[in-house]
Amino acid sequence: MKIDIITLFPEMCEAVLNESVIGRARKNGTVEFECHQLRDFAYDKHKRVDDTTYGGGMGMLMKAEPIALCYEHICGLYDKEPYFIYMSPKGNVLTQDKVRQLAKLDNIVILCGHYEGVDQRVIDEYVDEEISIGDYVLTGGELPALVLADSVSRMVTGVLSDDLCFEDESHFNGFLEYPQYTKPYEWRGKTVPDVLMSGHHANIEKWRREQSLYETFIKRPDMLEKAELTDEDKKIVLKLEQNISKQKS
């Protein structure tokens, strides 16, 4: 997979993309990243990429032409047009399902917005999808772009040591992850649940499933409404609901 990022701060992006798991995957060629300085595609001597908005209002708006020129340059690097994403608070909120979909693509271009956003005409002309990482506003699109790049890249085969590294994680299967423990067995008077010390794999898996359902029920009940529950899952959820009702009464 190759991810191109259009940004005013390529050094900021590079600092993150060269570190940790993603940095290692980049070094061994499992995923590729290229950060494009948008000012390199500005056509005036001052390298301006923004201007005032028509109709008045506070702040500056990113100009369409530098973005178009940069994207067209990137398109020239590939046999087919890459999927173009604009990180925007107007977009659909990023989910694990969306991450899985994007991880199947060969090439993605991510545009980092700034100021008051981007001229709508370039969005209408080129952008395939607008994505948000949450219902709040940041000073620029670099952090959201890096969140997207990280979440998508780690789903690419070979980035993590084993697919199980992400298949048991929160959100992957529609539930939050079960609690996890490491050594020592006892820490400040608190011990590891006995079932995890039993070596009985079937019981451990059952416990993990129950705990995953419990975590989701308590912290993100909205996720259960969309999840595919087995008959056994439904029994566990019903028991949780009954216990909550007893505590309230």
Read off the pTM: 0.83
pLDDT in tens, 85-112: 999 999 999 999 999 999 999 999 999 9
pLDDT in tens, 39-86: 999 988 889 999 999 998 888 999 999 999 999 999 999 999 999 999
Task: Kindly report the CATH number that applies to the domain delimited by 2-153.
Answer: 3.40.1280.10
What is the pLDDT confidence band of residue 165, given thresholds at 50, 70 and 90? very low
Those residues with Cβ within 8 angstroms of residue 38's Cβ, 6 or more apart along the chain or in another chain: 6, 7, 8, 49, 66, 67, 70
* Type of residue at 43: Y
pLDDT in tens, 125-144: 999 999 999 999 899 999 99
Which H or E run includes 247? Answer: helix 231-248
d(CA 81, CA 96): 24
| CA distances in angstroms from 79 to 82, 101, 105, listed in the order given | 9, 21, 14
What is the pLDDT confidence band of residue 244, given thresholds at 50, 70 and 90? confident
In 18-161, which ranges are continuous DSSP H helix?
20-27, 64-75, 96-103, 120-126, 142-153
pLDDT in tens, 217-239: 999 998 888 888 999 999 999 99
pLDDT at 163: 57
| CATH homologous superfamily of 186-248 | tRNA(m1g37)methyltransferase, domain 2 (1.10.1270.20)
Please state, rounded to an integer, the average pLDDT across all residues of the chain. 92
CATH 3.40.1280.10 placement within the chain: 2-153
| CA distances in angstroms from 17 to 138, 152, 154, 180, listed in the order given | 20, 13, 12, 28
CATH 1.10.1270.20 placement within the chain: 186-248
- pLDDT exceeding 90 applies to what percent of the chain? 81
Q: What is the DSSP letter of 92?
A: E
Mean pLDDT of 160-181: 68
pLDDT at 162: 59
